[in-house]
Amino acid sequence: MERHFRTLEKVKDRILKLPNVRGVGVGYKRVDMTRTDKPAIIVFVEKKVAAKELHRAHRVPAKINGLDTDVIEIGRVRLLKERSNKIRPALPGSSIGHYKISAGTFGAVVKDKKTGEKLILSNCHILANGSSGNDGRAKIGDPILQPGGCDTLLKSGNND
């Protein structure tokens, strides 16, 4: 995938200027919502539009420098006005954090491939206090705060 990352770095500014494009990355191509094992340059768009309906200059190419692309519709992207407010249910983009850390960002809702259980995705330092799983810094069942600890303190005016 290193080649994909190098290529993306060279073309990202051009791709991000295309109408409807909201982001780019590197990942695995999806076919009918099923992930394949084929690496691709991922282009995130607000709304998928048929290639024939787009001006040629506005199309995401099927390949860039010989590497596959994949266009994924993600809908409208917007910033939360108050990411540190108490939000129920919590939403991606809002403040969360393991009870022993300051705060971080709720990244996404994902599903466990085997069980179908909905889970939240963020960084290890946000959800597990940077734990390796064997160092005692966090354990299964520890509280995850929303908003995260320091954002709760700032909201209450108690920033001691």
pLDDT at 152 over 80: no
Average pLDDT across the chain, whole number: 90
Rounded-to-integer distance, Cα 143 and Cα 5, Å: 36
Whole-number pLDDT of residue 43: 97
> Are 103 and 68 in a shared domain?
no
Domain boundary among 73, 108, 125: 73
Which residue range is the domain that position 126 belongs to?
95-156
Give DSSP secondary structure letters for 17-74: TSTTEEEEEEEEEEETTEEEEEEEEEEEESS---GGGS-GGGSPPSEETTEEEEEEE-
pLDDT at 80 over 80: no
pLDDT at 82 over 60: yes
> Are 104 and 139 in a shared domain?
yes
In a domain, 65, yes or no: yes
Whole-number pLDDT of residue 149: 86
Whole-number pLDDT of residue 153: 60
> Are 15 and 54 in a shared domain?
yes
Rounded-to-integer distance, Cα 60 and Cα 111, Å: 28
DSSP 8-class letter at 135: S
